[in-house]
Amino acid sequence: MPQRWKYPSDYYRHSQDVLETALGKVAAYKSWRAYDPGREYPVDRRYAAMPALTKSDIRQHLPQDFVPPGRDVSSGIASGEIQLVTSSGTIDDRVTNIWNQKWWDASERASWNSNSHASKIASDNKREAILVNPLNVGFISDDLDLPMEQRRLSRFLYLNEKTDPLSWSSEHMDRMVKELEVFQPAVLEANPSLLAKLCRYIAAGKKTVFPPGLIVLTYEYPAKFHYRQIRQVFDVPIASSYGTTETGYVFMQCEEGNFHQNSEFCRADFQPLRAEHGGPFLGRILATTFNNPWYYMVRFNVGDLVRINQEGRCPCGRDSGMILSAIEGRAANATLTCAGRLVSLRELDDTLSFLEGIDEYQLIQVAADAYNLHLVSQRADTERLSKEASDLLKSLYGTAAKVSVIYQEAISPESSGKYNIAKAAFPVEIEKYLS
């Protein structure tokens, strides 16, 4: 595994400045000072000695506790420079964060330099249509349909105001198709699950739709069946953008399919899993933000598993920062084989991608050796499909796996508005699997 990545000339200066400011001046990190081996040690070693920052830690502190001296949250809100926002996780996982729009936009622009299609159309005034659950971002109106002008915000058009995708009518989806034609966005940013749902409708009705210059998938893990359904309708470049409310844009997928660190705006520390669970190339990322004068996030556990690019280089030629071959899904979506080996969402998705005619799926591990697979499919041969699915899952989880295939008309999103493709009905603590 590559031990040294190439970084911008000021990367380590930023790393040191953020760490020393956090330890010396930011209240939330006061207890972390005891972990610091000292300034005489390399900055990488100092970071490695620090704990991981979690959402639980953020909830235990006031937003002001993550702000450096000389800045006041109330004054920043009054001036409009910042605002307080709630992240879009599950109810038990949500936190209140400081949102600095100017910094967020700059982080996005920098990340788009890692994709040739994005960099060609990146500008401060590019039109962008957004298809997400409004619980994540946008305008909520479940009772009344909002006219297009009430879903416009500057250069953005929010296509959907409904919090329950199961309530989408044909009229609602026809409106989205029409508005794409009217608005003609350069970029369509979307939850993969919601865009796939719209694409299934478009494909079934043999409708035509305006093609944006680029589709950016965000907020959720994009499964292979999402890509298949989207590709039925859109013949345009697709890239996956990776980040969090807390840390901004951390990685961007290039045109070759690898993910490049946004090293101008963040530091990324990789913690590998043990070899028997997929390490040393599979592990988790801890992100530290640069250049945000309002909100100091140090070694924030973004909650995802990632796979390091083994070659340490990408055919696209970009070599600034860490390179990932894949985002493997939320750690919260990890499951276990009957023998106790960790299975990432990507490994599960790769296995189930051989199923044909699947609209949606969700796997719930209900016990150490029991798995419930919920399927939405138009196939009539359900008996054959069930056997195919069961055989695939047993090849992954073990021949002793008890697999139940359950057919549904649709699968509901979580309370966060996001879809959960896989989960265990019991805690899977990733820390236990780290090397």
Reported as a single tens digit per residue, the pLDDT across 166-222 is: 999 999 999 999 999 999 999 999 999 999 999 999 999 999 999 999 999 998 999
Average pLDDT over residues 216-241: 96
DSSP 386: H
pLDDT given at position 62:
87
**Interacting residues of 391 by C-beta distance below 8 A, sequence separation 6+:** none
Kindly state the tokens that stand for 56.
């639980």
pLDDT given at position 124:
63
Q: Is 168 in a helix, a strand, or coil? A: coil
Residue 149 burial (C-beta neighbours within 10 Å; 0-12, 13-18, 19+): exposed
pLDDT given at position 263:
96
| CA 220/CA 271 separation, integer angstroms | 22
Q: Is the C-alpha dihedral spanning 126, 132, 138, 144 positive or negative?
A: positive
Q: Is 363 in a helix, a strand, or coil? A: strand
> Whole-prediction pTM value?
0.94
| CA 183/CA 128 separation, integer angstroms | 9
Residue that the structure tokens 């006041």 belong to: 72
Q: For residue 312, is it left (φ>0), alpha (ψ between -120 and 50) or beta?
A: left
pLDDT, tens only, 84-105: 998 765 545 778 999 999 999 9
* 417 vs 76: which has the higher pLDDT: 76
Kindly state the tokens that stand for 196.
């796939």
* 307 vs 87: which has the higher pLDDT: 307
* 88 vs 109: which has the higher pLDDT: 109
pLDDT, tens only, 260-277: 999 999 999 999 999 999
| CA 91/CA 199 separation, integer angstroms | 29
Q: What is the mean pLDDT of the chain?
A: 94
**Interacting residues of 180 by C-beta distance below 8 A, sequence separation 6+:** 129, 159, 188, 209, 210, 212
Kindly state the tokens that stand for 373.
């697979």
pLDDT-above-70 percentage for the chain: 97
**359 touches 376 (CB < 8 A):** yes
**255 touches 316 (CB < 8 A):** yes
Q: Is 1's pLDDT higher than 70?
A: no
**Interacting residues of 271 by C-beta distance below 8 A, sequence separation 6+:** 283, 284, 285, 286, 434, 435
Average pLDDT over residues 278-305: 96
pLDDT given at position 368:
97
Rg, Å, the chain Cα set: 22
pLDDT given at position 416:
86
Which domains are delineated in the chain?
11-331 (3.40.50.12780), 335-433 (3.30.300.30)
What is the side-by-side order of every strand in the sheet holding 248-253?
152-153, 156-158, 128-131, 187-190, 214-217, 238-244, 248-253, 259-261, 323-330, 300-308, 282-289, 266-272
Confidence of residue 154 (pLDDT cuts 50, 70, 90): confident
Angle between helix 170-183 and helix 192-204 axes, rounded to 10 deg: 100
**194 touches 220 (CB < 8 A):** no
pLDDT, tens only, 110-141: 999 999 999 888 666 789 999 999 998 899 99
pLDDT, tens only, 319-337: 999 999 999 999 999 999 9
Average pLDDT over residues 381-400: 98
Q: Is 285's pLDDT higher than 60?
A: yes
pLDDT given at position 86:
82
Kindly state the tokens that stand for 183.
């608005």
pLDDT given at position 2:
43
